[in-house]
Amino acid sequence: MSRNIFILLFLLSMFCGVAEAQQNTIRFLLPEYAGYDYVFVLERGAKRDTVADGTSDAQGRMTVAIPAEYSNYRGVGKLLFPGDKRVLVNMIVNNERDVSLTTPPKISGLDSLVYSNSPENEAINRYTTGQARLFERYMQANSQKEKQDIEAEYTALNTEIARSPLYAARIMEIIRYLTASGSSFVIIPEKLQEEQKRFIAEQLNINDLYTSGFWTTFFQVWYENNLNSEDSLLVSQSRAMLNRTQDPILNRELTQTLINSFSRYGREDLMPQIIANVNIPLKGQAAPELAVGDSSFFPKRSLILFYETGCGNCHYELEELKKNYSRLTENKIRVISIAADVATDVFEYTAGKLPWMDKYCDFRGFDGLNFINYGIVGTPTYILTDDEGFVRGRYARLNELLNY
């Protein structure tokens, strides 16, 4: 219980004093951060979209205009200060206009932010503060009657959250899953497991999770929660999540995340049961031939990177691969990159900066033969093969391989 409470309080603290805006502007007045360089990002899965940057003025004023292309965004935004990576402001962004945010008089830091024109952030502040206080009071309670009264308050709070249409309420439900806090402070493990199964199967909205900032953490926790469960549960819950994800782009992102999660734990063998139309060469199987123009070859002792120009994470991985290229070649590993680009000039612009020789693209995007044969539904994806051409690993990031 104490460990879960510690994790919960940490996650809740991320949203205490949040601010918000959407479709218009967010005005910050943070005197303590006058003259600071800043960036404002919106969460999208494992990525962040930078939508504004600048430098605060002498009074600590910053104005962030949400671009028109994000007018339908509903999720979490972050104000970051690159010069001080410990400092950030977490916010909900959900079509709220002219939001303002400042620190209270005579209070430094970002622990007690004051904001206006933001029902979403008023709600998340109320939920997080209320839930944290209930946890603390429960742990300090001396009588059974006091604990029962606190339980009743906790039940009422959970009921309010469940009935609320606000995005703030969906964030709280995700946090509750991540911390395994359950519907009660004294919930038994079996009932908690049932609640978590029901949340995955019936309640979780993948669109809301995608923009929550908890995307990667959620799937790590989800898989580890089910390590001792039957394989059929992992399969059924994966299918349930995919079936409820109607947006094609998000469905592809979810598919790639599931593939990466299962590959990380060496359970790629379950993926054909989850995604019938995706062929995924498993660890220990022969890697498919790579088609290059009118010819093909088997990639032996190779590291293959599937990427797409314009994908932020892809460009980060390309830079990491360039930094470690000599290390890989010293170990006689052939580096191969395959792009999902559809325009020749776009491909050539990126490929021209890469130091290795094997740079390919058939300009068919994710419908290209190599992407299909390797079951690539999202980028970046690495495939490692051994001296005999057998698959030895599938990775989303180079450091997963180098630190193995």
Do you know the residue count of the chain?
404
pLDDT at 20: 41
pLDDT given at position 12 = 59
- In the chain the domains, ranked by start, together with CATH numbers, are 2-126 (2.60.40.1120), 188-278 (no CATH), 290-402 (3.40.30.10)
**What is residue 105's predicted lDDT score, i.e. its pLDDT?**
72
**pTM across the whole model:** 0.78
pLDDT confidence of residue 264: 79
Which residue type occupies 298? F
- The reported pLDDT for the residue numbered 332 is 95
Q: Do the Cβ atoms of 369 and 362 come closer than 8 Å?
A: yes
pLDDT of residue 21: 37
Residues 6+ apart with CB under 8 A from 391: 281, 282, 283, 284, 285, 286, 287, 383, 384, 385
- Specify the pLDDT at position 84: 81
Question: What per-residue confidence (pLDDT) applies to 106?
Answer: 61
C-alpha to C-alpha distance for 398 and 323, rounded to whole angstroms: 11
**261-290: string of b/e by CB count within 10 Å (b at 16+)?**
bbbbeebbebbeebbeeeebbbeeeebbeb
Tally of CA atoms within 13 A in the half-sphere of 191 that contains its CB: 8
CA-angle at 50, arms to 317 and 241, nearest 5°? 70
Q: If you write DSSP's letter for every residue of 231-261 in order, what string do you get?
A: HHHHHHHHHHHHHT---HHHHHHHHHHHHHH
Determine the pLDDT at residue 384: 95
The predicted pLDDT at position 320 comes to 95
pLDDT beneath 70: ranges in the chain: 1-23, 106-111, 404
